[in-house]
Structure 1
Amino acid sequence: MSQTMKTLTMSALIGAVGAAMATFAVPASAAEEAAMEKCYGVSLKGQNDCAAGAHSCAGTSTVDYQGDSFKLVPAGTCTSMETPLGPGSLTPIERGA
């Protein structure tokens, strides 16, 4: 086998492995996402999934239980979650921390 063929074969193999690994990085399916809900005011500092006018997105909340930052939780569980500042909310809430 020539050096060119070995290089092409190795490149194809690396590409195939990369493509296979990329499938593991695909976000949750629509059905899995539908089984989750946004729960505001329950995430710890830096552990939010997204939202808030004060920051751009995931992992950027500045205080624990920030009322305008959400965490994805199993559907139907948000409002029963208790924090030191009160229950979780399905909508953004004003909450001093």
Structure 2
Amino acid sequence: MTRKYSALAATLALGLAAIAGSAHADEAKKPMEKCFGVAKAGQNDCAAGAGTTCAGTSKTDYQGNAWKLVDKGTCVTIKTPKGHGTLEAKA
């Protein structure tokens, strides 16, 4: 009886892992774009510009030369206290 439940649990776990994996793969296929000026301090994606070296190195909220990947077409609609996101770095 224990073997039967172990096999059932293993099958269920594999099924859930497959579903989670395919959901993640679908998200990875979404077209994305770099959006400048929308990341909070320390939450930018890589290559933030002068004064930073890579992901998580921006010094201030909504730093103009720090970018974050967002869904394509949404960048300029993201509003922050410093204005909207842009597709090009701000000084």
Per the shorter chain, which TM-score range? 0.5 to 0.7
Q: 1:64 aligns with which of 37, 41, 61?
A: 61
State the Cα deviation string for residues 26-62 of structure 1 (Å, max 9, x = none): xx8xx72x60000000000000002211110100000
Task: Report what 1:41 is aligned to.
Answer: 37
Percent sequence identity is 52
Q: Letter of the 2:70 partner, please give it.
A: V
The alignment partner of 1:72 has SS state of strand
Larger Rg: 1
Moved over 3 A (4+): none
Partner of 1:54, secondary structure, is coil
TM value normalised by structure 1: 0.62
Scaled by the length of structure 2, what TM-score is found?
Answer: 0.66
Count of aligned pairs between the two proteins: 66
What RMSD, in angstroms, separates the aligned Cα atoms of the two structures? 2.0
